[in-house]
A and B are shown apart, each in its own frame.
Chain A
Amino acid sequence: MAEEKDKDIVLLSHGDGGLLTHQLLQDFFLRYFKNDLLDSLTDAAVFSSEPGRMAISTDAFVVDPVFFPGGDIGKLAVCGTINDLAVSGAQPLYLTASFVIEEGFPFADLEKIIASMANTCRVAGVQIIAGDTKVVGRGQADKVYITTTGVGYLLPGANLGYQRLEPGDKVLVNGCLGNHGLAILLQREALGLDSQIISDCAPLSIMTTEILKRFKGIKLMRDLTRGGLATNAKEIAMSSGVDFWLDEAALPVEDSVKGITELLGLDPLYLANEGKFLIVVAAEEAGELLRYLREDWSAEYACQIGDIQAGKGNVYLRTALGGARQLNMMAGAPLPRIC
């Protein structure tokens, strides 16, 4: 039995499958993730699905620090998997969540993370229906790792694919770029910069479901996580064999993000986002889609950032001066420069 002084932290015995594990499940996970499928605590969650194609995605989240301006590892673990399904044209239904917790992790922090996950699931209309908890010794993990797996059904009208991209298509994003990556970096490195950079971490599935229903000209979507806009655009260009031409002047980046990245020698186009996605849409629907995002979804910084041209899989940036430069994939983590 845990001693009184250890009641506020996770112990190795919370992971041994006995009474303390049971307590952990009841007091935290089941309390926040309450739903009929999970509450039955059977070995597998059994559910029915609608006829049609399903989508499944899984991701592990190991972010440091676990709390950051605009979110935490729990919110990230829910948004990350939901968004992967969302940009694939799927309506997410259920998630599973697996936790690896370091011995000594405070219950107060664990509760904040679980509450945040539950809240994000509620906003996105998904449920966590199965899970797992492991506790490892101090130093064998860094605070907490979360793996989420999500399933959803593909929207019947969604027809997304690299092969659909053709010259003349327009490229849109739903808002400002680089906030999540910079928010994490600033927290992690304790730079002493008095900044208010907030992560854009958010679930996208409700928005993507609606736009896919309304705009049949949407040909591809991609959430702009690791590697940022540049790396993701390059991946799409290479897979589809067309060129992207992006306009530097049109790219939405907050002034504070621009200023700090310049100071540090980083490029916001390579920083991760957790609530931003790129849309390739047929030219005739681009204007109406942009208006819909801005007015009906309050995505005030949604922008048309460029177009697709025939080519060989390159991404070009038209600079403000009228020159051009290439965007390639990110090589290694972004690192600050010397001077």
Chain B
Amino acid sequence: MLNKLRDPELGKRILSKLVPLAREAARLLGRPAIFMEVCGTHTMAIARSGLRSLLAGSLELRSGPGCPVCVTDQGDIDKVIALAAARHDLVIGTFGDMLRVPGTNSSLEQERARGARVEIFYSPAEAVTFAAGHPRDEVVFLGVGFETTAPAVALSVAAARSRDLKNYSVLSFHKTVPTVLEILLSDPELKIDGLILPGHVCTVTGRKAFDFVSTKFNVPAVVAGFEPVDLMEAAYLLLKQIVSGRAETVNGYPRLVREEGNNKAKEIMKEYFKPVDVQWRGFGMVPQSGLALQERFSLYDAAVKFPVEVSESPPPRGCACGDVLKGKIVSSDCPLFARKCTPLQPVGPCMVSTEGACAAYYQYEWSKTGSRGNIGG
């Protein structure tokens, strides 16, 4: 199946239909249609496949709030860094993406160099195994992610409970996607003609959870997988809706996404987490869009076990990560992009995360010596 989806000939066939349709949509709209992908993995797939260059001039693809590291609030980043700095007796467990994300004055990587203990884990389960194997260490796992990651983190708490581990806790910065999309789509400044919905998130939430995009906001939406062919098909389905004047939320990833989603994963999320108001980078407070551990699991809640207060800091001066995440600008429009902000010296998280829009753009699509954005050869 995957080989078929990666077949370049199939891709080229879809492309040959896609481009004329995009031109037709552009004629109707009076400008090229703008589609937003709401998943960091989509952002990377688009960059790596060269899709943007193939569609240049007839269709614009723009990133949204789909990178969980990027949307983590500066204050939350500062809290983790402060905890790592103050408590060298703790082991901060994290996915690799978080290591270099800059806080106001430092990063986990810098604190590690100063003596903090920071371990990179590939899964929350691995962090639990580490805690079990190091009973004298107190492991704090950073729960950063959307509906895709949250069930696995809930399961790690379940595993720690069943093994009666007292040295494992989770600092939950999890966020849910539908709520922030409501905020985004309510923004009168936003010019988005269609949404490419996150396939991984939808395997948990189900397609129906995003029906509001088309019913409430009259914006076409397609759930997409992660192969170039998936993304081209999603763009095709969106364009067809624009050309025929429809707006529906379509499942373009039926091999994994169901109408209702994964009930088991949803149940375990509900059992362990409760919705709370949280700050999103670039969006501010989004009501009931965060996931905190339920009170009955407070033994495993690092926010309760190791409370940290940090003073509020403004985002770095000039950093436009917020506008990038809202799709208001593309990365190269940020005044810091590739000047003060590079992957080696990132100012904002969009330049750090492997799923960040600016990192993808810098890595794959931007040239210091060539012209920007035009690499069609």
Binding site for B on A (CB under 8 A): 189, 191-192, 245, 249, 264-265, 267, 311-314, 316-328, 331-332, 335-339
Contacts and interface: CB of A to CB of B under 8 A. Distances in A.
A337 B50 contact: no
Contact of B53 (A323, A331, A337): A323
Contacts of B149: 338-339
Instruction: Give the 3 A-B residue pairs with the shortest CB-CB distance, closest first.
Output: A323-B50, A335-B96, A331-B343
For this complex, into which size category does the number of interface residues on chain B fall?
Answer: 35 or more
Given A335-B99, A336-B95, A338-B69, A328 B375 contact: no
B367 interface: yes
Contact of B50 (A249, A321, A331): A321
Of the candidates A245, A265, A332, A337, the one having the most CB atoms from chain B within 10 angstroms of its own CB is A337
A311 B353 CA distance: 30
Contact of B122 (A189, A317, A318, A325): A189
Could you tell me the dominant secondary structure of chain A's interface residues?
loop
5 contacts: A265-B354, A312-B370, A319-B49, A320-B228, A323-B49
A173 to B, nearest CB: 20
Contacts of B355: 265, 337-338
B241 interface: no
B369 A313 contact: yes
Interface string B40-56: 11001001111111100
B130 to A, nearest CB: 10
Contacts of B126: 191-192
Interface string B2-15: 00001010011001
A30 B349 CA distance: 53
A61 to B, nearest CB: 22
Given A265-B44, A320-B49, 20 more contacts: A192-B126, A265-B355, A311-B370, A316-B375, A317-B50, A322-B50, A324-B377, A325-B47, A326-B370, A331-B342, A332-B343, A332-B344, A335-B100, A336-B97, A336-B120, A336-B354, A337-B40, A338-B145, A339-B41, A339-B149
Contact of A339 (B6, B8, B146, B228): B146
Contacts of B15: 321-322
A339 B365 CA distance: 22
Contacts of A322: 8, 12, 15, 50, 54
Contacts, number: 125
Contacts of A338: 40, 68-69, 95, 97, 144-145, 149, 353, 355
Contacts of B200: 339
B354 A319 contact: no
Interface in B87-137: 95-97, 99-100, 120, 122, 126
Given A313-B369, A336-B122, A319 B50 contact: yes
Given A312-B370, A337-B97, A338-B97, A320 B145 contact: no
Interface in B2-47: 6, 8, 11-12, 15, 40-41, 44, 47
A260 to B, nearest CB: 11
B362 interface: yes
A335 B354 contact: yes
A317 B363 CA distance: 12
Contact of B8 (A191, A313, A321, A326): A321
B332 interface: no
A326 B8 CA distance: 19
Contact of A321 (B54, B95, B122, B367): B54
Interface in B343-377: 343-344, 353-355, 362-367, 369-370, 375-377
A321 B96 contact: no
B218 interface: no
